[in-house]
Structure 1
Amino acid sequence: MDLTYSAADEAFRLEIRDWLETHLSGDFAGLRGTGGPGGENQAFEERLAWDRHLGAHGWTCLGWPPEHGGRGLSLPRQVIFHEEYARADAPGRVNHLGENLLGPTLIAFGTDGQRRRFLPPIVAVEELWCQGYSEPGAGSDLASVSARARLDGDEWVVDGQKVWTSLAHRADWCFMIARTVPGSRRHAGLSYLLVPMRQDGVEVRPITQLTGTAEFNEVYFDGARTGASMVVGAPGDGWRVAMGTLGLERGVSTVGQQIGFARELDAVVALARRTGAIDDPVIQDRVARARMGLEVMRLHALRTLADDASTGPAQASVSKLVWATWHRALGELAMEVAGAASLVVQAPPYELDDLQRLYLQTRADTIYGGSNEIQRNILAERVLGLPKEVRP
């Protein structure tokens, strides 16, 4: 990828920078820095209003084709937007799953009717989505899902349990995979369904995490219903569609994520200077390695995004391994720099500081979205051609 920007691209950078500076004011001024990882419930209604403000001014779904409500921006300009959004310390978006996962999936695999029904509310941030993949017995091994759905006249009836479902308690709809062919196993017989969350057959139970917050949920489907037309792709072809969604999960927004990572690293270095830990040669070496790793991560992400031939589950696995492992190591470095103070909460009963939350939150980075072990298996089997892992 050519990492230089044209004069027109730089003019676009100034446009979005000025827009953010102007609009992150007034009622929105206090939202800067809110809603990051582990804080998705923070100022949620205010951030929802901010996302709708972005949509009203044409700053959502930037890479979508114009015929589907997007702006059709080039990759460099999408990168610029996410860089400037992160640099402005703008609030965490509430519509990530709809805008970056479900919407592009419908553009690629959905019917015209599904696109007409669901894409405009995503652009306007009028409907929010959650992702129903993981189950108690099927986390990173997604092909083991047991949630099932059967056709009853002109509706699908859904039964089963999902877990670790981010922001399910906020969502209007869930895109999920369920087993629709009785007796099927593994990848066969799965369907990709769109299910309304606000109905009697759906129960959401928040899960309190180590950070003391509850962004994840258990979701129980007990006779939940959705229309027969609410299957994306053909019935039984859900695995292919689900893998398409997972490939989108490591998209251009990860470049903005890395700006946030750099800000976290700067905070760790600032603490090391205050405590004197920066004088330790081992700490110096780890900080230097962290800075190099962050730059490698950025260049790898840009190269991957620019190379259409490199996209897919295997490349997504590389990206996930790189950033998740780096981020977890940063949390560990933060606790070493803080020393004994890292073991003490800031205030009762359980008030954590930013670096303590960073450490606890990053323990999950190498697990959710496919654990490191599963990512390595994908690379070993699908890229290197090694024998498949023995399964019971």
Structure 2
Amino acid sequence: MTKVSSFRQKQSVIFIAFLATTFIVGVAGALQSPTLSRFLSFEVNVNPRLVGLFFSVNALASIIGSFLLAKYSDQKGDRRHIVIFCCLMGVANSVIFAFSRHYVVLITLGVLFAALSSAAMPQVFALAREYAVKTGRNVVAFNSLIRAQLSLAWVIGPPLSFGLAVHYGFTAMYLSAMSMFVVAMLFVAFFLPSVEKNPTSQLDNSIDIKSAEQSLFKNRNVVCLLLSTVFMWTANMMYIIDMPLYVDSVLHLSNSLPGQLMGLAAGIEIPVMLIAGYLVPKLGKRNLFFIAIVCGLLFYIGMILLTNKFALFALQLFNALFIGIVANIGIIYFQDLLPTRMGVASTLFNNGIICSVILAGVIQGFVSESYGHQVIYWIAFAMVAISLLFCALVNDKS
């Protein structure tokens, strides 16, 4: 028993456990999300507005559930136990979607379990940040390596999701997601550490504690960064929701193409994240955000003007630069602005993304049904431009 305990406490083992947990939970999410609009449209047989409504209700529930768990975790909860609970809720959610085709059941019971499982990833990142600080690791590099696992999961997840759904059915696909959550629970239970909350006195002297601890909505930097995050991710979520339908009904290309595009973008994101992590000390988080958003503008211009299959593949470079940088640096940005509330900071970034799903679901459902799919990408371009303005308003020293 002593040897087993010693093995589990090794930093190398804990680091690998963080990588594995992030990857496995990421695969579970990447199996479910890309085909959700297709599942609701063709398996549950609902119209585009009900598809949009589902995304919005699911997102709102996730914001509430994850934020409540975040506040609890920052005060007295053991993040490791919370991650296990979230994975268990993910198992329940996967089972509901595997065997039910009733819209009311999915949007109530299914959404409830999804909301409670949504806190898993931000809690893992909060725990990773606290562990990196405690053990003296390079926080940005540590986060970049862990965040890269999420992108790696999205390299494998979307093509696998579409492959399972098309060839074996949605039941097999959701049961596969369930198995991922079970495996993740085992890694968390046996290998991830419990880390004591860092008292204020141990924080870096350069941190403005008074500013960090004030009300979130009175902190201008946090509010501007949150709004910037919401607008840029709204554009991205509209793309994720609409692109599979756009490729099928407007461009009349292969059903497997959406999964390939998502997988390619996620694959490019991995080196982008790692490089961005090492560029933070040289360029600063704010400048990297500007570079990412400009790449986002170029990506959506391409989506508006280009319809060729190979052009869509080429555009994924700009998409990957856009998402890879903001997904990696964004969570660190929030954590640096709120250093005494790691759970809230990580969840705020995650909830900014989830909030964007509410907007994206409503806009995509209404616009695609009333004006067609192509208008979606003009709106996405405008959203990214607005996010650039809010990013410029963040007064940050980095």
Question: Shorter-chain TM-score: which interval?
Answer: 0.3 to 0.5
Q: Which has the higher contact order (CA 8 A, sep 6+)?
A: 2
Instruction: Identify the structure with the greater strand proportion.
Output: 1
> Which of the pair has more CA radius of gyration?
1
- Per residue, is there more helix in 1 or in 2? 2
TM-score by length of 2: 0.33
Q: So what's the TM-score if we normalise by structure 1?
A: 0.34
